[in-house]
Structure 1
């Protein structure tokens, strides 16, 4: 199964978390708040069996950081 990617991006009036599942997009006033929420979502999704990547972009759309969360199923095999 392919990784699910949550991307924190600048948006007019704040920051958003973009997710390809159901074309989901959540808005936040603070980039730090959006980033923290994206990591929290990723932890929950990985606990339910999904591999998740969190990609953080700066205001110019450049990747500033990325974190991968492995599914709980994969961690059980280690």
Structure 2
């Protein structure tokens, strides 16, 4: 059974069909089959690029133009 703490809403996708995916279980220490709703599968399939973008943006400090420079350029 897929357990999620968050809520996902979508007007286009539903939780049907429910597929299975392999996930690692720490309790059993091996890969087990887990039921995965369609809406979660679609989210994981198409949001990969956004996760990379957020990771790259968090790596650098964005300084707005016109703000004071931290060093003297003279």
- Fold-level similarity (TM above 0.5): no
Q: Which has the higher contact order (CA 8 A, sep 6+)?
A: 1
Q: Which has the larger radius of gyration?
A: 2
Q: More helix by proportion, 1 or 2?
A: 1
Q: More strand by proportion, 1 or 2?
A: 1
TM-score by length of 2: 0.30
TM-score by length of 1: 0.29
